[in-house]
Amino acid sequence: MRHLLRTGARLFWRPAADDQVDEELREHVDMLVRRLEREGLSPDAAREAALRRFGDLATVRDECRALAHDEEDQMNRQEFWAELRQDAGYGARTLRRAPLYTTIAALTLAIGIGASTAIFSVVHAVLLRDLPYRESDRVVAIWNGYREGGALSRTAIAPPEFADVMEQNRSFDQVSAVSRSSANLTGGCTDGECEPERVVAYTVSPNLFTLLGAGAALGRTFTESDVAQGAEPVVVLSHTLWMRRFGGDSTVLGRSINVNARLRTVIGVMPATVRFPDAPIGFLRERGELWAPFSWQNNRGEERGNQYLGFLARRRPDVTLDQARVDLETISARFRTTFPSRYDQTTVKWGLDARPIREEMVGEVRRPLLVVLGAVILLMLIACANVAHLSLARGAARRQEFAVRAALGAGRMRLVRQLVTESLILGASAGALGVLIAIGATRGLVRLDPGMIPQLDATTVNGAVLAFAVLSTLFCALLVGVVPALRQSITSVHDAIRSGRGAAAQPRRRVRSMLVVAEVAMALVILVGAGLLTRSFLALQRVDPGFSPGSTLTFAVTLPRARYETAAKLVAFHEQLQPRLAAVAGVASVSAIDPLPLGGTNWSGTFHIDGQVVPPGGQDPHGEYAVALPGFVKSLGMTLVSGREFETTDGPAAPAVVIVDDRLVARHFPGQDPLGKRISQEGPTGPFATIVGVVRHVYRSGPAKEGEPQIYFPFSQHEQTPMSYAVRTTVDPLSVLRAVRTEVAALDPDLPIARVATMATLEFTSLARERFNALIFAVFAATALLLAAVGLYGVMAYLVSQRQAEIGIRLALGGGPRDVARMVIGDGMRMALIGIVLGTVASLAVARVLDGLLFGIEPTDPVTYVVIAATLAVVALLASALPARRATKADPASALRA
Amino acid sequence: MPDANRTVLQGTVDLLILKTLSWGPRHGYAIARWIEETTDDVLRIEEGSLYPALYRMQKRGWIKSGWGESDIGKRIRIYSLTPSGRAELRAQSTQWELMVKAMARVLKPA
């Protein structure tokens, strides 16, 4: 680059230096010739003698030329630095002399740079940085992929499927299966005293950490021998759990801890950077706190419909992702042949599907993040445009200063450089301030984490982020400096000195108008984004979730199999706990359900309807399941459409019953009375359970996800270990927590209660990401609107001041104030309207990126566009009305004299 | 041994130029004439070799140049001594005298 510049410069400068050398040498020889002629030599003889005395002219010339260039370069450099020092000193003085301008300009730029840098730091942490696994691009997640129409849904893998792929694949070095569980931890603390605790646990193939290429920070990870027959049960802890429960004590290695009422030996602690899954991988969403080994292929005897495993694999280095997919398709084809009814293809296309783990982890946040980054960069541009306005206005005021400097011999480039240097100084201070803002904002963003952005907590202002800040600073400074500088230098020295104003206003006005138009257009794009996201957020909030959060406390208990080994014991626990909790003061009703709506887990599978035979090649009906205690409809505030709820009489020995939702009725019993119909979860031949009630559909995974038809089973007929209680209260739900703990401890002192939350909190967090997006955009939009309004106002005020004389004449000639106001406002609105039209076109062009972030609203929603455009127009009207009012107040006489 | 001669002369030419300019600014041709006259043609140097020396010394900051007029009114480069050139002249003169004395001591007894 530098070389190119120098070569380019030489094209211009070399001839001058060369000519001077030639001139000097020629002159020397000529003088020598003249002297020799005076001594009496003939002209020819004199020249010959002179050249002889001079020596080798060509060599001397070349040597001198080379030296001359060297010196010239050196001088240019010195001059450049000297002038730069001078410019910088002068610039700093000028900025200091205009503290208001400097402060406003620096703050505006700093906000723009700071906001973009903060968002970029998140983008860098989440999207650009490597995952904490070795060669993570080779790690894939494998799913049961169901393709219906254009949509592909990915679901968990059943143990026999895992075992088959493990044996039959030719693409993977290693495969691991993972199942989400949870663990009740009791005792084991270093000081001996600690509460029972419930932690997020994963039961994983022993090679999981080897597959990921993540080693233990302390001790070791699992090996195959840990799952051998009769091996000692072991466990690996996460760094957080180790610090929290064991105080970072390294003697925890080799200690036995009580996990789900079973003693396991701690063999390792993972580093803080690895909490598999470190970001959501499909349904594996929560970060792990504890891992236990299990050979999932040994469960191959289970039903193929019982799909609950996450499946990870490491590609062999010589196998591409596409080749691995082809390999999986071969295996899928074999499955379809062997189990034709299970992997039926008529309505939904099924096939095993591999997806890079990076896609899994960051795929769903990539688009929102990039959209936010785009918005914040637009915001920065608006800030730059505003500061450019400011420096244009200042440029007008400084025209005489520059004219004088030009008259004193400063070249045009030198003046441009002066202005650019000034804006670089301004930019540098704004950039430094911006980085401080970014550091603060980054901390805030991490705290606002909706909990689903991978590696967000690792966001820092690091080298790459600083580089981004420096680049955006340079960009802003040049933008802010160059535009006015170029305008400035157009001004003719003569005109400027003579008039001081008025001259050359025309071209500058065009630049200003263009800046305002661009600002309005960019603000409109951000506003449309904010409008769409807000409307989508409101639409989500309007969705009837099928239950009412009300004033409800929820918590989960998981009864350890080791102590509750029989169905009777499990049922007995809840039969005792439910009335105990109901008796607590302030409690209106109590029940329990699993999975809890908005609890973050779901459970689904196929079912069969008595009397409805699925035609050969047809698909078994599929739905979401839940298990509940009597009274759940009331406690969760659900709506009973017909029939009855579960009652205590629906015991283990009583006839099997189920409750279904209105979606299931609409799909499978259209126009029939569903009560008394029978369905089975087990198989086409039963055993069947009778439908005794119909409830309204519940949006279990939040309002954005509709879900499938639902079936509720009574706990006493389908006992299981985990249940979530819903305690509806007449008082503040958290105020009964202490009493709830006492009642649980009275029944089982070693049983921890987990995931304590009010239903209202769950509802709030279920929309966390949508709220986060809408909020960020709203903040950007408000800032953009403000900046655009300020910009427009500034330009209109400037134009009015420029046209004071013209306005004075108009008023003097009898033009009414109304005409003047109309003229000024008309000017402003013309710019605003062009901006609005351009912005609308731009928004329509880029709104597609919001696809998938919007719910219940199209990216091209006309209402949003019209409302936003109207808002901007009103703001523009106000911004031009103020200067217009001032214009009409002008005294014609003084305006003319001015 | 023209090359060796030239290298020996290199330092000498610098010193001669500095000395010449210590009397006042002048152009290359005048420097050549002055050297020719004051050394009585003992140091016969090619006049062309003055110029690379001048350019080199200018680069080192010992001398500087401006524009003046030749005998027939043509534009010509005029060289003059800078303060650092004056210091250099003093240093080189001292060194030269020391060397001359040393050489004289060595050669006298012979």
* Domain CATH for B21: 1.10.10.10
> For chain B, what is the domain count?
1
Q: Angle at the Cα of A94 (from A89 to A100), degrees rounded to 5?
A: 135
Q: Does B58 touch chain A (CB under 8 A)?
A: yes
* B73 vs A874 pLDDT, higher one: A874
Checking if the pLDDT of A13 tops 60, the result is no
State how far residue A13 is from chain B, nearest Cα, in angstroms: 17
User: What residue has token string 């208990």?
Assistant: A557
Query: In this complex, do A54 and B70 lie within 8 Å of one another by their Cβ atoms?
Result: no
What is the predicted pLDDT for the residue at A11? Answer: 47
Contact: A67, B29; criterion CB under 8 Å: no
Residue in the block written with tokens 């106000």: A878
Residue A269 has a pLDDT of: 93
CB A283 within 8 A of CB A156: yes
On the CB side of A144, CA atoms within 13 Å amount to 23
pLDDT value at residue A666: 92
User: Per-residue pLDDT tens for A115-173?
Assistant: 888 888 888 887 877 777 888 889 999 988 887 666 677 788 889 999 999 999 999 99
Interface touch B51/A64, C-beta < 8 Å = yes
Counting residues of chain A whose pLDDT is more than 70, the rounded percentage is 90
What type of residue is A486? L
Closest Cβ opposite residue B70 in set A31, A59, A67: A31
Indicate yes or no: CB of B46 within 8 angstroms of CB of A57: no
Q: What backbone phi and psi angles, to 5 degrees, belong to A684?
A: -60, -20
Cβ of B55 within 8 Å of Cβ of A20? The answer is no
CB pairs under 8 A between A and B: 59
Q: What is the pLDDT of residue A635?
A: 93
A24, B28: Cβ pair inside 8 Å?
A: yes
Alpha carbon A825 to its chain centroid, in Å, reads 40
Closest chain B C-alpha to A25 CA, distance in angstroms: 8
CB A351 within 8 A of CB A362: no
Task: Tell me how far the alpha carbon of residue A182 is from its chain's centroid.
Answer: 29
Q: Give how far A18 is from chain B: nearest CA, Å.
A: 13
Q: Which of B47, B75, B78 to mutate to test the interface with A (most CBs of A within 10 A)?
A: B47
Averaged pLDDT for residues A289-302: 89
A543's tokens: 């969705």
Task: Answer yes or no: do B52 and A27 touch at CB < 8 A.
Answer: no
Set of chain B residues whose Cβ sits within 8 Å of the Cβ of A65: none
A21 contacts in B (CB within 8 Å)? Answer: 51
- Pick from A24, A31, A57: CB nearest B77: A24
Contact assignment for B48 to A70 by CB distance below 8 Å: no
**Element holding A241 (H helix, E strand):** helix A239-246
Q: Where are the beta strands (DSSP E) in A505-581?
A: 552-558
| A:462-521 residues touching chain B, CB 8 A cutoff | none
A245: Cβ–Cβ under 8 A, 6 or more apart, which residues?
Answer: A185, A188, A189, A194, A197
- Cβ of A67 within 8 Å of Cβ of B28? The answer is no
Judging contacts by C-beta atoms under 8 Å, the chain B residues touching residue A32 are 29, 47
Are A234 and A264 contacting, i.e. CB atoms less than 8 angstroms apart?
Answer: yes
Given a cut of 80, is residue A21 above it in pLDDT?
yes
Across the interface, of B27, B32, B55, the residue whose CB is closest to A67 is B55
Of A53, A59, A74, nearest to B47 by CB-CB distance is A53
Residue A515 has pLDDT above 60, yes or no: yes
Q: How far apart are CA A881 and CA A892, in angstroms?
A: 19
Q: pLDDT by residue (tens digit) across B22-66?
A: 988 989 888 888 888 887 766 667 788 889 889 989 888 899 888
**B44 and chain A: CB distance < 8 Å anywhere?**
no
Q: Is the pLDDT of residue A305 over 90?
A: no
Cβ A60–B49 below 8 Å, yes or no?
A: yes
As a whole number, mean pLDDT of residues A394-402 equals: 71
Residue A360 has pLDDT above 80, yes or no: yes
- Who among B46, B52, B71 is closest to A67 (CB)? B52
The minimum CA-CA distance between A886 and chain B, rounded to whole Å, is 60
**CA dist., res. A417 & res. B21, Å (int):** 39
In the numeric block, the tokens 């499909």 are attached to A282
pLDDT at A503 over 60: no
Measure B77 CA to nearest chain A CA, in Å: 7
pLDDT classification of A235: cutoffs 50, 70, 90: very high
Q: Establish if B77 touches chain A: CB-CB under 8 angstroms.
A: yes
Q: How far apart are CA A190 and CA A187, in angstroms?
A: 9
* Contact criterion met (CB < 8 Å) for A27 and B74: yes
For residue A145, give the 3-state DSSP assignment.
strand
What average pLDDT does chain A have? 83
Provide mean pLDDT across the span A34-44.
89
Cβ–Cβ of B59/A63 closer than 8 Å?
no
| Exposed / middle / buried, residue A100 (Cβ in 10 Å: 0-12, 13-18, 19+) | exposed
Q: Do the Cβ atoms of A247 and A190 come closer than 8 Å?
A: yes
Low-confidence winner among A445-449, A621-625, A769-773, B69-73 (lowest mean pLDDT): A445-449
If you measure CA to CA, which chain A residue comes closest to B29? A28
Rounded to two decimals, the pTM is: 0.67
Whether residue A278 is predicted with pLDDT greater than 90 in this model: the reply is no
Average pLDDT over residues A203-219: 90
| Residue of A28, A56, A71 with shortest CB distance to B28 | A28
Rounded CA gap, A460 and A453, in Å? 15
Predicted confidence band of residue A692 (pLDDT cuts 50, 70, 90) = very high
Domain ranges for chain A, please list them: 2-82, 136-361, 365-542+768-897, 564-747
Q: List phi, psi (to 5°) of A136.
A: -65, -20
CB distance from A75 to chain B under 8 Å? Answer: no
Q: Find chain A residues with C-beta within 8 A of B58's C-beta.
A: 71
A398 vs A146: which has the higher pLDDT = A146
- Residues 53-72 (A) with a CB less than 8 A from some CB of B: 53-57, 59-60, 63-64, 67-68, 70-71
Measured distance CA(A874)–CA(A869) in Å, rounded: 9
What is the Cα–Cα distance from A455 to A449, expressed in whole angstroms? 10
Which residues does residue A724 pair with via DSSP β-bridges, in sequence order?
Answer: A556, A593
Contacts of A31 in chain B (CB under 8 A): 29, 70-71
Which of A21, A28, A51, A64 is the best mutation test for B, with the most CBs of B within 10 A?
A: A28
Helix (H) or strand (E) holding A796: helix A768-802
| Most confident listed range (A150-159, A196-205, B1-10) | A196-205
Lowest mean pLDDT among A285-294, A800-809, A833-842, B52-61: A800-809
Residue A570 confidence (pLDDT): 92
Residue percentage of chain A with pLDDT more than 90 = 23
Strand partners, A151: A148
Distance CA A515, CA A404 (A): 28
The contacts of residue A340 (CB under 8 Å, 6+ apart) are none
Tell me what pLDDT residue B2 has. 42
Using an 8 Å CB-CB cutoff, list chain B residues near A59: 48
Q: What residue of B is the nearest CA neighbor of A71?
A: B59
Domain of B17? 2-107
Whether B29 and chain A come into contact, CB under 8 Å, resolves to yes
- pLDDT value at A618 more than 80: no
How close, in Å, is residue B47 to chain A by CA atoms?
5
Q: Which of A324, A290, A294 is nearest to A310 (CA)?
A: A294
- Using a 10 angstrom Cβ sphere, with 0-12 exposed, 13-18 middle and 19 or more buried, the burial of residue A687 is exposed
At residue A327, does pLDDT exceed 90? yes
Rounded to an integer, what distance in angstroms lies between the CA atom of residue A450 and that of residue A177? Answer: 28
Using CA atoms in the order A428, A434, A439, A440, what is the torsion angle rounded to 10 degrees?
Answer: 140
**Mean pLDDT throughout A60-68?**
88
> Distance (Å, rounded) from C-alpha A441 to C-alpha B25?
66
